[in-house]
Amino acid sequence: MLKLIGFKKINISIFISGTGSNLKNLINHSFKKNSKFKVVLIISNNPKAKGLNYAKKFRIKKKIINYSNNKNAEKKILIELKKNKVNLICLAGFMKILSENFINNFKGRIINIHPSLLPKYKGLNTHQRAIKNKEKYSGCTVHYVNSKLDSGKIILQKKVRILKNDTFKSLSKKILKHEHVIYPKALKKVLFNL
């Protein structure tokens, strides 16, 4: 395991596929006075991901990875991570599944945010399924990534009430706000334990 030496910041890479609101939020946290991390690399499988604009805005390196072949894509990512001395990976709306081999290369050093109260509603369309099943609560979870989808050890979770008139849109908006609170908190916890 890594040890925090002196005041040296931990280099993190954030993987995205879309809007990047969690990315933006984590970058903003990295600029805070006592922050222990620095975002050194943004990875996206999607060249059209809106979140890529934050690379330019905050002058952070970005790499768009062609995912037509998973194995090659992961190989390229690993090279970039090494080149940029990345210690920890944060998945933030990254819609590709990482292989066991990739995860083993970063054992205990990949975390993800998922928009449900795991272990409930792993995978896609979490809000639609929670509403359809008339759940009273949903939420969001930050967890370590292991080789099973959305199944790694939970770091932090926030429960959110589903109201009768909640739609997919209103619920996802509500939960996203909580994601922006728990992701930096969970990251802080993880960095403390590195």
Give the residues lining the site for ligand GAR (CB under 6 A). 16, 18-22, 51, 92-93, 113-115, 176, 179
- Identified catalytic residue from 114, 127, 143, 178: 114
77-109 exposure pattern, b = at least 16 Cβ within 10 A, e = fewer = beebbeeeebbbbbbbbbebebeeebbebbebb
Q: Which is nearer to ligand GAR, 39 or 92 (CB)?
A: 92
Q: Which is nearer to ligand GAR, 115 or 184 (CB)?
A: 115
CB of 178 to ligand GAR, least distance (A): 10
Integer Cα distance of 166 and 5 in angstroms: 47
- Residues 23/56, Cβ–Cβ less than 8 Å: no
CB of 4 to ligand GAR, least distance (A): 26
Q: Which is nearer to ligand GAR, 37 or 94 (CB)?
A: 94
CB of 5 to ligand GAR, least distance (A): 31
Number of residue whose CB is nearest ligand GAR: 93
CA 111 to mean position of chain CA atoms: 6
Integer Cα distance of 171 and 178 in angstroms: 11
CA 85 to mean position of chain CA atoms: 18
Q: Confirm whether 178 is a catalytic residue.
A: no
Sign of the CA dihedral running 100, 182, 127, 160: positive
Q: Which is nearer to ligand GAR, 2 or 153 (CB)?
A: 153
CB of 132 to ligand GAR, least distance (A): 17
Residues noted as catalytic = 114
